[in-house]
Structure formats: structure tokens, C-alpha cells
Amino acid sequence: MITTSSETTPYRTSFSNGVHQAIADVTAKDGGQSSGFGPHDLLEAALATCVNITVRMYADSHSIPLRGVTTKVGITQPQPGEVLFYYEVAFDGDLTPEQKEKLIHAAHACPVHKTLSQNIRFESAF
């Protein structure tokens, strides 16, 4: 679970999972200082890092000669009530077409991708 705390700088927010800590903020045009990741950046980062890690783990466990992975993720709203996550994945390594196909399949199987593909509900306590 992530816990956030307001800081004295307007909108700057620290967050932690109890082990690691980072900063979120909003842009100057929104009243912040741009001193950390924006909330949507963090959502994009969750998917991008999960895809990257999942592909690398798959390659390691299947002896695929993958040297590295670059993942880019963005979020857009093509129409009201619809959200689209789009991503690009680039593999570095001497890979066969079959190995690339397996890595693409692994990318689509990352846990965050699976979570975001579900019907999502929210519960809150105030």
C-alpha cells in the first residue's frame, strides 16, 4: 500500500511504500513546482516498468538473449468516458522473430496490464 503526505510546498506530495520514498507534484501552470512526477506520470510509469520487468524476467527464464528493453507509455482520452493506454516496446538483442513474438506476448501479460484491463471499482474511507 502507498501512503502519501502533504509537504509545505503547495501540492508537493511525498509517497512511500514503507521502504522507498519519492515525490509527486504538479506543473507550475497548475500551481505546483514540477518537483516530482505528476499523478498521470506515475500511472504511466506503473505500466511501463511492469512491461519492462516482465519482458526481462521472461527472457531470463527462457534463455532469450535479450540485452535490454525500452518501454514508453502514454495515456490519452480519445473520447469522453474512454481511456487509452498506448505503449511502445523496443528490444535490444540478437533475437529471432519467434523470440520477439514470445517477448511481445510476455509484455501483454504483465500484471499491471492485466489489472488495468479489468473492470475497476473504487472504495474510499474518510
Reference 12, options 72, 47, 30; nearest CA is: 30
Give the integer Cα–Cα distance in Å for 47 and 34.
22
- Say what percent of the chain tops pLDDT 70: 100
pLDDT in tens, 52-107: 999 999 999 999 999 999 999 999 999 999 999 999 999 999 999 999 999 999 99
pLDDT bucket at 31, cuts 50 / 70 / 90: very high
Hey, is 16 helix, strand or coil?
Answer: strand
Q: What is the pLDDT of residue 10?
A: 95
| pTM reported for the whole predicted model | 0.92
CA distances from 8 to 3, 13, 28, 41 (A): 17, 9, 15, 22
Residue 89 CB coordination number (10 Å): 19
Q: What is the pLDDT of residue 53?
A: 98
Of 47, 45, 19, the residue nearest 3 (C-alpha)? 19
pLDDT band at 120 (very low <50, low <70, confident <90, very high): very high
